[in-house]
């Protein structure tokens, strides 16, 4: 079973009460005991703060994707009459969303919610779409209307409206026998539909040894200084707090003064004050009644263990869970004799009349003073409470669910999609009419196989529907069609669509179906995909324009597909690699295909659920009438004793006609004068077809091999009547079903096929099946066996005919069509289609319509769809600073865009500091990849469960401003991750502009609340782990690390060489050249390096210092840029500039490659780095390294670099001189031994951390 649990009982105002705890424990128990079942938790997005804690509860118990969140416009609390219309809309949205999950049963954890908050619970407001079960806690308001509802008519109306909903439930799960009895006695419920599943106790409540220190600390903090009796409950009237105060006040003073009474719950100030006033009025001293406001479960368990006894005086309870919790901790419990408490406490002598204060006082006095009796109750408590387990509750519930789900109640018929006006048009049959179906298809004389198919289907389908054919052709041949079938133009249909109940589109991969594209978006219906690949029709609509096809393919298959077309020599051939059918599938109510192979293709292209709405119906064929075989053969010039082998259909490389010719020419059949081979179809017009024709022409037996060319239907059928053996081979299938194979089987021709694509699904008893990748000798053996055994041919042909009669006959297929159509429309009526139909009839204010539309988009994503990887490029899309961070972003982004993991769409996105939410960075991405971007819009991003957001770019201010939006995505099941380059601003704030450390700390705290961070090195990971040790991140956050790639030219490199590049590179070759790569920033060590080389030059050392990097922090005033102005001034005015000192500012990546190649050694003098990308790039170029002794540099270069310490100029000057001496002796470490990875490998590492497959 698929069981959907609406867990709003744990989200709403009841979440902190017994209902909330029951709901959560019940759901957990079902999840633990779900062997053979699928449990889905449905949560309300209007309670955002509750979602992550609930997700955490089910972590490791349920897959994350099984916790779904539905969105709705709020507020909807019933206490405000202004919310009534919005509440009605939201009830329908919620029910349609849950129905879209295709549950076998839906369980409502708490129906009577939503009066004071935004809980939305209803049953059957959107039609009887699902079987619904509800937990019944009690009927206290109904049975105590004078006390609860007399002065609150708004609540009374809300409550009785919920009772009306309850009547539409299929099952009640009562939390006690008492609650079940109330439903039968006061609501008239059938006992067969009520199951008293009972209640369990949380395993966290148990007998515990409490240490003296912990005991004193907790009791002291709560004001409990003497032995105490406790009562845990909400402050509702039926909980009977006041009478308990009165009974306690009536105890002898010596007893009261030796004890305390503790009330534990969630009390509003006015409630607390009222209880305290009542206690004082009854004569209790200030410390005799202790009121404790909501404690954590661990503290509550401690209090249960430390209490002298537990009292539950309620005059009405659905169950009384706190009493069980106390008993599990070994506490003596006394309580009311009313409702469920006798079955909970299990001892008659521990009960009292809740309305008789004197009776209550007597039992309470005995609990305080009769030690043996109290010990007896404690022993009883443990034994009795053990029967209340959540596993037992879950077992009873699952059994009841199965019984209810198996009930034979059938779902109601589906209403029309387009607003039909009467009962028949609403989808209900009566004695006088049937549903009206619009049938879109090309028809004869259009030269299309689908025309012929429709001619065979329509007479049989007319037995189920009143049909009008919708065409866009001047005339059709209606011979053979029932007179009742009408013909309409597409334009006429669009004006009268509301008169039809069902729409059926027959789609094939040809221009004949173009007109359907115009109608489908406005009038969704059932589509039949005769070809899974629709690339021919897709390209025809765009006139095969390279720019248009590439642009539109972004929406269908992503940027990699667009790039394939952009770069291809032949647009048609490149487009042929993609189905290009997503727009069709997303516009369909349901999909009919002719094979399981087409379903498999959908799953391979669009993920595991891609074929969710697909139904496979075999290609139909009317059983043939026996034709005069001899007359057919005579008309073709074939003698009665000849053996005719045929292959039907267009000749093409994918039909493997050459393999058949190979086998025939290489067999004894070739030389047998009685054997003929006929290719019945048009030859391929290119190299393949010419080669086939030439081989036949040069064969010694060319007179016995023919290619017929294109044939009329009559000639085609003549060959079918005349053939002795058929051979139909295939490779490179795209989901299409071979009509020729079905025709051969229908005519009783023994047919040889290979197990490729849809042909692998043929009944092997009706064909001679070869392996998919067959050998020529296997084909030859099959041909020879059939050629030499007429009996075998006859038997195989008869079995084939029987299969066609029993599985492919029009009547059988038409019945399956009706079943598929009605199932799809019923599903649509329960889900989005029916919801839209219903909402159209509601007066939704214009100001609310956009919010409703947003909720629909969030709750009902287009299907099928690939999961999205939303890659944040907010900074890169605005301005590429060409720093190391941007280089990383470009490299990773390019890898993902050009090699997307299977089943994922890579979508760069961006946000701004002024508008909430993200937008698709379509225009930026097209420019980034060199794709024509005219007409592409940067639409608003919607993200759904299973998607991933990855903060690839460093945009701290934007992330902080967008954190609520990201958290909303996270609540809906979107994983949110960030890339962390370093923590340097918070670790070394003196190296950054003033205040940057505070901003960086805010960013770290913000991203710490999400699902994970990926650090660019183990060193950064260590820094992050230490920084977050103070609890600044979510306890469940994952932290991972990667290393950067070193193949610079794969990072979307910039191009271009300045005019003086050749001269500069030549100068670098004159003396040892030491290269520094990095933005001009205070931490990079530039001043130390310049001063060090000045000392070297003064010592007579001939060496060149080359600094590559642009000036940093230009947007800031000089006063905030620390040492940058000084560095820049030194570089620009240095007397050695252009001779022994070079500053190459803002150069291209192409130029940087040349500089690496011309240099002698890389100096990594930075005082702080997250990774040190120049080290790894230098290693790739075989450039030795002299690096500051930082942990991250050791991590990257290991022992294959020379390290220096100290910040003085002399420290580095000495290190350089020492390095030169080693270099001359050949003793410098070999940088080629530094391990490095490619950007492809880096991106794959990130993908694995994000939970994405890396196979593209």
Checking if the pLDDT of 1050 tops 70, the result is no
867-873: average pLDDT: 97
* Domain boundaries defined on the chain: 2-196, 212-381, 629-808, 866-1045, 1057-1236
Give the residue carrying structure tokens 């029910």: 95
Q: What is the pLDDT of residues 832-860, one digit of tens each?
A: 999 999 999 998 999 999 999 999 999 99
Three-state DSSP at 292 gives strand
Sequence length of the chain is: 1256
pLDDT at residue 1254, rounded to an integer = 53
Nearest of 518, 528, 493 to residue 418 by alpha carbon: 493
Checking if the pLDDT of 1251 tops 90, the result is yes
Secondary structure tally for the chain: helices H, strands E: 53, 39
616 has which bridge partners? 593
Dist CA 728 CA 756 (whole Å): 11
Checking if the pLDDT of 416 tops 60, the result is no
pLDDT at residue 466, rounded to an integer = 97
Q: What is the pLDDT of residues 54-109, one digit of tens each?
A: 999 999 999 999 999 999 999 999 999 999 999 999 999 999 999 999 999 999 99
DSSP 448-502: -HHHHHHHHHHHHHTTTSEEEEEE-SS----TTS-TT-EEEEHHHHHHHGGG-SE
- 649 vs 669, more confident: 649
1107 has which bridge partners? 1076, 1143
Same fold, 212-381 and 1057-1236: yes
Which tokens sit at 994? 């003033």
1151-1165: average pLDDT: 96
pLDDT at residue 1042, rounded to an integer = 96
Checking if the pLDDT of 419 tops 50, the result is no
pLDDT at residue 426, rounded to an integer = 39
Dist CA 1205 CA 453 (whole Å): 82
Nearest of 1140, 1166, 1157, 1154 to residue 1077 by alpha carbon: 1166
108 has which bridge partners? 6, 134
pLDDT at residue 447, rounded to an integer = 84
CATH topology of domain 866-1045: Rossmann fold (3.40.50)
pLDDT at residue 276, rounded to an integer = 95
* CATH of the structural domain 629-808, one choice from 3.90.550.10, 3.40.50.970, 3.40.630.10, 3.40.50.2000: 3.40.50.2000
Which tokens sit at 747? 């005519």
The correct answer on CATH 3.40.50.2000 for the domain covering 2-196 is yes
**1053 — pLDDT class (breaks 50, 70, 90):** confident
- Cβ atoms within 10 Å of 188's Cβ, excluding its own: 8
Give per-residue burial for 942-981: e unless 16+ CB within 10 Å, then b: bbbbbbbbbbbbbbbebbebbbebbbbbbbbbbbbbbbbb
Question: Is the CB of residue 692 less than 8 Å from the CB of residue 681?
Answer: no
pLDDT at residue 1007, rounded to an integer = 97
Contacts of 1236 (CB under 8 A, 6+ apart): 1043, 1045, 1046, 1176, 1179, 1180
pLDDT at residue 429, rounded to an integer = 40
Q: What is the pLDDT of residues 756-781, one digit of tens each?
A: 999 999 999 999 999 999 999 999 99
**882 — pLDDT class (breaks 50, 70, 90):** low
pLDDT at residue 1031, rounded to an integer = 81
Which tokens sit at 1204? 């220096």
Dist CA 126 CA 89 (whole Å): 10
The correct answer on CATH 3.40.50.300 for the domain covering 212-381 is no
Cα-Cα-Cα-Cα torsion 593, 595, 600, 601, nearest 10 degrees, comes to: -60
**422 — pLDDT class (breaks 50, 70, 90):** very low
Dist CA 291 CA 278 (whole Å): 13
Q: Please report the beta strands in 508-596, taking only residues with DSSP state E, as ranges in sequence order.
A: 526-529, 590-593
437-451: average pLDDT: 93
Mean pLDDT, all residues of the chain: 92
Question: Is the CB of residue 568 less than 8 Å from the CB of residue 532?
Answer: no
Checking if the pLDDT of 394 tops 60, the result is yes
Q: What percent of the chain has pLDDT over 90?
A: 84
Give the residue carrying structure tokens 């004799």: 337
Checking if the pLDDT of 161 tops 70, the result is yes
Q: What is the pLDDT of residues 298-333, one digit of tens each?
A: 899 999 999 999 999 999 888 888 999 999 999 999
pLDDT at residue 736, rounded to an integer = 83
CATH topology of domain 1057-1236: Rossmann fold (3.40.50)
pLDDT at residue 173, rounded to an integer = 97
Checking if the pLDDT of 898 tops 90, the result is yes
What are the backbone dihedrals phi and psi of residue 1187, each rounded to the nearest 5 degrees, phi first? -130, 150
Nearest of 562, 515, 554, 561 to residue 537 by alpha carbon: 515
Dist CA 1204 CA 950 (whole Å): 37
- 375 vs 317, more confident: 375
Nearest of 1031, 976, 975, 983 to residue 1003 by alpha carbon: 983
pLDDT at residue 911, rounded to an integer = 97
Checking if the pLDDT of 189 tops 60, the result is yes
Query: What phi-psi label fits residue 445: left (phi over 0), alpha (psi between -120 and 50 degrees) or beta?
Result: alpha
Does this model's pTM top 0.95? My answer is: no
978-988: average pLDDT: 97
């Amino acid at each position: 079973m698929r069981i959907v649990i609406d867990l709003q009982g744990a989200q709403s105002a009841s979440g902190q009460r017994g209902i909330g705890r029951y709901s959560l424990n019940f759901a957990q128990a079902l999840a633990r005991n779900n062997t053979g079942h699928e449990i889905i938790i449905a949560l309300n997005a209007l309670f955002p703060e509750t979602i992550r804690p609930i997700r955490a509860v089910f972590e490791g118990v349920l897959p994350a994707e099984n916790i779904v969140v539905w969105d709705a416009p709020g507020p909807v609390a019933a206490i405000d009459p202004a919310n009534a219309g919005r509440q009605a809309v939201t009830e329908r949205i919620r029910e349609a969303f849950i129905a879209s999950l295709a549950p076998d049963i839906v369980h409502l954890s708490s129906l009577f919610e939503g009066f004071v908050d935004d809980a939305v619970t209803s049953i059957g407001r959107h039609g009887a779409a699902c079987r619904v079960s509800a937990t019944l806690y009690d009927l206290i308001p109904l049975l105590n209307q004078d006390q609860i509802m007399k002065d609150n008519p708004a609540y009374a109306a809300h409550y009785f409206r919920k009772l009306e909903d309850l009547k539409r439930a299929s099952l009640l799960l009562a939390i006690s026998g008492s609650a079940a009895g109330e439903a039968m006695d006061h609501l008239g419920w059938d006992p067969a539909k009520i199951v008293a599943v009972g209640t369990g106790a949380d395993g966290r409540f148990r007998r515990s040894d409490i240490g003296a220190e912990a005991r004193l600390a907790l009791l002291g903090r709560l004001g409990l200084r003497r032995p105490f009796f406790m009562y845990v409950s909400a402050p509702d009237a039926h909980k009977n707090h006041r009478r308990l105060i009165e009974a306690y006040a009536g105890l002898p003073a010596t007893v009261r003064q030796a004890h305390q009474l503790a009330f534990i719950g969630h009390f509003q100030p006015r409630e607390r004050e009222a209880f305290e006033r009542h206690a004082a009025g009854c004569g209790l001293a200030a410390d005799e009644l202790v009121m404790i406001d909501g404690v954590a479960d661990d503290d509550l368990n401690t209090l249960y263990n430390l209490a002298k006894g537990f009292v539950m005086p309620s005059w009405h309870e659905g169950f009384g869970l706190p009493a069980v919790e106390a008993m599990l901790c070994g506490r003596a419990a006394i309580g009311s004799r009313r409702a469920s408490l006798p079955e909970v406490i299990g001892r008659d002598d521990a009960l009292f009349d809740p309305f008789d204060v004197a009776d209550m006082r007597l039992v309470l006095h005995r609990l305080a003073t009769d030690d043996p009796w109290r010990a007896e109750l404690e022993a009883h408590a443990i034994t009795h409470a053990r029967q209340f387990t959540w596993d037992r509750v879950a077992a009873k519930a699952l059994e009841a669910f199965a019984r209810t789900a198996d009930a034979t109640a059938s779902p109601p018929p589906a209403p029309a999609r387009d607003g039909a006006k009467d009962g028949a048009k609403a989808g209900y049959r009566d004695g006088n009419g049937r549903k009206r179906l619009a049938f879109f298809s090309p028809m004869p004389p259009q030269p299309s196989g689908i025309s012929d198919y429709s001619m065979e289907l329509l007479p049989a389908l007319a037995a189920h529907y009143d049909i009008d054919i919708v065409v866009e052709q001047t005339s059709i041949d209606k011979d053979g069609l029932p007179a009742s079938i009408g013909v309409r133009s597409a334009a006429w249909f669009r004006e009268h669509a509301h008169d039809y109940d069902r729409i059926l589109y027959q789609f094939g991969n040809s221009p004949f179906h173009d007109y359907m594209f115009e109608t489908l978006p406005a009038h969704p219906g059932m589509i039949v995909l005769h070809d899974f690949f629709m690339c021919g029709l897709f390209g025809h609509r765009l006139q095969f324009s390279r720019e248009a096809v590439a642009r539109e393919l972004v929406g269908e298959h992503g940027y990699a597909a667009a790039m394939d077309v952009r770069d291809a020599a032949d647009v048609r051939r490149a487009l042929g690699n993609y189905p290009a059918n997503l727009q069709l599938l997303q516009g369909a109510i349901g999909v009919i295909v002719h094979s399981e192979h087409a379903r498999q293709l959908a799953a391979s292209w669009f993920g595991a659920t891609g074929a969710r709405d697909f139904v496979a119906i075999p290609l139909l064929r009317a059983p043939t009438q026996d034709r005069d075989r001899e007359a057919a053969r005579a008309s073709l010039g074939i003698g009665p004793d000849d053996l005719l082998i045929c292959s039907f259909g267009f000749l093409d490389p994918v039909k493997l006609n050459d393999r058949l010719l190979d086998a025939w020419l290489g067999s004894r059949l070739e030389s047998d004068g009685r054997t003929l081979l006929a290719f019945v179809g048009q030859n391929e017009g290119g190299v393949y077809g010419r080669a086939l024709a030439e081989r036949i022409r040069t064969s010694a037996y060319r007179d016995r091999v023919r290619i017929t060319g294109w044939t009329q239907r009559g000639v085609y059928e003549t060959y079918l009547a005349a053939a002795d053996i058929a051979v139909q081979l295939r490779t490179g299938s795209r989901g299409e079903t071979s009509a020729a194979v079905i025709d051969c089987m229908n005519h009783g021709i023994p047919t040889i096929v290979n197990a490729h694509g849809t042909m692998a699904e043929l009944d092997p008893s009706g064909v001679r099946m070869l392996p998919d990748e067959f050998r020529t000798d296997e084909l030859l053996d099959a041909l020879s066996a059939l050629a030499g055994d007429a009996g075998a041919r006859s038997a195989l042909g008869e079995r084939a005919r029987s299969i066609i009669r029993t599985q492919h006959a029009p009547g059988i297929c038409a019945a399956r069509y009706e079943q598929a159509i009605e199932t799809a429309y019923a599903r649509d009526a329960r889900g989005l289609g029916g919801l839209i139909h219903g909402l159209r009839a509601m007066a939704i204010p214009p100001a609310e319509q956009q919010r409703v539309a947003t909720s629909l988009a969030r709750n009902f994503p287009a299907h099928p769809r690939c999961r999205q990887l939303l890659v944040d490029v907010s900074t890169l899309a605005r301005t590429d600073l060409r720093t190391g961070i941007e280089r990383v972003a470009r490299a990773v982004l390019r890898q993902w865009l050009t090699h997307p993991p299977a089943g994922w769409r890579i979508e760069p996105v961006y946000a701004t500091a002024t508008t909430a939410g993200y937008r698709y960075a379509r225009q930026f991405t097209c420019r980034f990849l060199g794709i024509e971007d005219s007409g592409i819009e940067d639409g608003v991003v919607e993200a759904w469960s299973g998607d991933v957001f990855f903060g690839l770019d460093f945009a701290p201010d934007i992330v902080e401003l967008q954190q609520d939006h990201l958290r909303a995505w996270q609540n809906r099941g979107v994983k949110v991750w960030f890339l962390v380059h370093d923590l340097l601003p918070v670790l070394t704030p003196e190296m950054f502009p003033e205040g940057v450390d505070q901003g960086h700390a805010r960013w770290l705290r913000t991203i710490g609340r999400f699902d994970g961070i990926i650090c660019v090195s183990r060193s950064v990971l260590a820094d992050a782990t230490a920084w977050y040790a103070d609890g600044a991140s979510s306890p469940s956050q994952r932290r991972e690390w990667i290393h950067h790639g070193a193949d610079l030219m794969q990072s979307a490199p910039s191009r271009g060489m300045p005019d003086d590049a050749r001269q500069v590179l030549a100068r670098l070759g004159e003396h040892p050249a030491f290269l520094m790569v990095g933005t001009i920033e205070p931490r990079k060590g530039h001043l130390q390096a310049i001063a060090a080389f000045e000392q070297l030059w003064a010592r007579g050392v001939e060496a060149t210092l080359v600094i590559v990097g642009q000036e940093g922090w230009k947007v800031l005033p000089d006063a905030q840029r620390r040492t940058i102005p000084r560095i820049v001034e030194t570089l620009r005015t240095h007397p050695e500039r252009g001779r022994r000192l070079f500053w190459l500012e803002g150069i291209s990546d192409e130029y940087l490659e040349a500089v690496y190649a011309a240099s002698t050694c890389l100096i990594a003098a930075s005082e702080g780095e997250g990774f040190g990308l120049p080290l790894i790039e230098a290693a790739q170029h075989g450039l030795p390294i002299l690096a500051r002794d930082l942990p991250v540099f050791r991590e990257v270069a290991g022992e294959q670099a020379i390290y220096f310490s100290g910040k003085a100029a002399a420290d580095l000057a000495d290190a350089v001189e020492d390095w030169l001496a080693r270099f001359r002796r050949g003793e410098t470490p070999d940088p080629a031994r530094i391990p490095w990875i490619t950007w492809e490998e880096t991106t794959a590492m990130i993908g694995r951390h994000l939970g994405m497959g890396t196979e593209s």
